[in-house]
Amino acid sequence: MIIKPSYRGFICLTAHPVGCYKNVEDMIKAAVDHRVSGTAKIKNVVVLGSSTGYGLASRVVAAFSYGAKTVGVSFEKESTERRTATAGFYNNRAFGDLAEKAGLAYKTINGDAFSCEIKDDVVAACKELFSGEKVDLLIYSLAAPKRTDPETKQVYSSVIKPIGAAYRSKTADFHTGVVSEVEISPASEEEIESTIKVMGGEDWGLWVDRFIAEDLVADQFVTLAYSYIGPALTHAIYKDGTIGKAKDNLLQCCQTINQKLEPLGGNAYVSINKAVVTQASSAIPVVPLYISLLYKIMREKGLHEGCFEQISRLFTDRLYSGKDDFCDKERRIRLDDWEMRTDVQAEIDALWPRIDSENIDSLTDIKGYRDEFFSLFGFGRIDVDYEEDVKGF
C-alpha cells in the first residue's frame, strides 16, 4: 500500500509505519544522549497511556535515559487489509523493537486502561517482568474520549465546552490557515460530570489502590499525572471549562492519593506541562492558533520544548534531581514555567488581536503546527520515501 496522509478535521485517518518508527528512533537517540548514571532510583516503571505524546516520551526517557524496565499500556488499533494501524500502534512496535536491540526489558499491553481486566494484566506483567521487585514510578497519561465505569458499566463521554455562558473567540483551521470566529454553547451539568468521570482523577486513584493492594509500591514510590493550565487567553475553553473541572478533580485526587502513599514512603504529583501539538490538543478550538503563536515566540527566544525535552527536564531537573522543593503546596510541578514567562505571554497578548487569515503565516508558526501534526502520524519526514509501497503494515 502507498500510504498518504488522509484526514478529517483534527483527525488523521492514516499513519505511516516507517515514519512512526523513525520518530521513535529519533526520540530514543536523544534519550541515549541524555543517559543518566548515578543513584536515581528508577528501575521499574509503568506508563498508562504510553503510545504517544507525553506518555511515549516518559517511557522512552525511563527506559533509554535511566535504563528502567517498563510496562506500557495503551489502546491502539492494528491494521486491516484496507486501513493502516494507528500511529500509537506503530510507535509501540518501534519502541519494542528498539528496546530489544538495546537489551531493555519491557512489556506492552494493548487495551482499555479503565477496565479491571487490563489492571489485572498490568499487575501480572509487573510481577513477571520486575522479577519480584516493586514499582518505582507510575505515570498516568491517559487521554480518552470515553470511559466505562468498571463497577456500574455506565459509559461516560467527555466534552470540550465552556461553563456558564457561551464562548466566542477566534480560531484557525491549521490545514488552510483560515482564521474565523467560533462560538461554543455552555455545557450542561451532566456533561460537566461526565467529563470529570473520563478525564478526572478517579481512575488514577483506582490504579494506585490496586498497586497498594498488590504490594507493588516500592520505597520512595512516585506516581505522576499530567495536566495543563494555560494562559488567560484559553481559560474559558480550558481551565474554566469542562476540561478544567476535570483537571481540578485530578488535583484533588492527587492529594488523596498522596495521603495514602505517605505511610508507605511514596509521593503523588501533578505535572503541569506546556502546550504541545497532539491529536487531543488539535481538537480544542482556539488552542491550535495559540500553540502556533506560542511556538514561534518560544523558538525565537530559545525556549521551545517538545514532549521529549519536557519529560527529560521533568526527570532530571525535578523528580530525580535530589532536590525537595520542585513542587508547590498543591503538589504541582510547574513545567509550564517557560511557556508562562511574563515576556512570552506579553508578546502573545500583543499579537493575538492582530492575527487574521492574511497575516497568520507571518505572525505565527501555523505551518510548523501543521507539519508537526502530520509528523505525529509519521508523515513529512525527508528520510522516508512516501511513494514506496509499504508491505506488512
CATH code assigned at 273: 3.40.50.720
Candidate list 238, 269, 295, 320, residue with the active-site label: 238
Asked if the structure places residue 2 within a domain, the reply is no
Asked if the structure places residue 1 within a domain, the reply is no
User: Cβ contacts of residue 127 below 8 Å, gap of 6+?
Assistant: 214, 216
pLDDT digits (tens, 9 = 90+) for 203-224: 999 999 999 999 999 999 999 9
Residues 24, 42, 336, 53, Cα dihedral to 10°: 30
Summarize the confidence of residues 381-393 as an average pLDDT: 91
pLDDT at 38 over 70: no
pLDDT on residue 40 = 66
One-letter amino acid at 254 equals C
Alpha carbon distance 230, 287 (integer Å): 10
Categorize the per-residue pLDDT at 391 as very low, low, confident or very high, splitting at 50, 70 and 90.
confident
pLDDT on residue 285 = 86
User: Cβ contacts of residue 261 below 8 Å, gap of 6+?
Assistant: 208, 212, 217, 221, 223, 267, 268
**Burial of 2 from C-beta contacts in 10 A (0-12 / 13-18 / 19+):** exposed
Summarize the confidence of residues 72-92 as an average pLDDT: 95
Q: Residue 325 belongs to what domain range?
A: 9-375
Asked if the structure places residue 384 within a domain, the reply is no
Summarize the confidence of residues 180-189 as an average pLDDT: 95
pLDDT at 1 over 90: no
pLDDT digits (tens, 9 = 90+) for 128-167: 999 999 999 999 999 889 999 999 999 999 999 999 999 9
Categorize the per-residue pLDDT at 10 as very low, low, confident or very high, splitting at 50, 70 and 90.
confident
Neighbours of 99 (CB within 10 A): 21
Asked if the structure places residue 248 within a domain, the reply is yes
pLDDT on residue 39 = 59
Asked if the structure places residue 322 within a domain, the reply is yes
pLDDT on residue 81 = 85
On the CB side of 246, how many CA atoms lie within 13 Å of its CA?
34
Asked if the structure places residue 66 within a domain, the reply is yes
Say whether 238 is catalytic: yes
Summarize the confidence of residues 354-372 as an average pLDDT: 96
Alpha carbon distance 324, 197 (integer Å): 32
pLDDT digits (tens, 9 = 90+) for 253-307: 999 999 999 999 999 999 999 999 988 888 888 999 999 999 999 999 999 999 9
pLDDT at 37 over 80: no
pTM recorded for the entire structure:
0.96
Asked if the structure places residue 106 within a domain, the reply is yes
pLDDT on residue 382 = 96
- The set of cell numbers assigned to 277 is 501539538
Summarize the confidence of residues 339-347 as an average pLDDT: 97
Per-chain mean pLDDT for the chain? 95
Asked if the structure places residue 278 within a domain, the reply is yes
Number of domains into which the chain is organized: 1
pLDDT at 13 over 80: yes
Cβ-contact 271, 227 below 8 angstroms: yes
pLDDT on residue 393 = 82
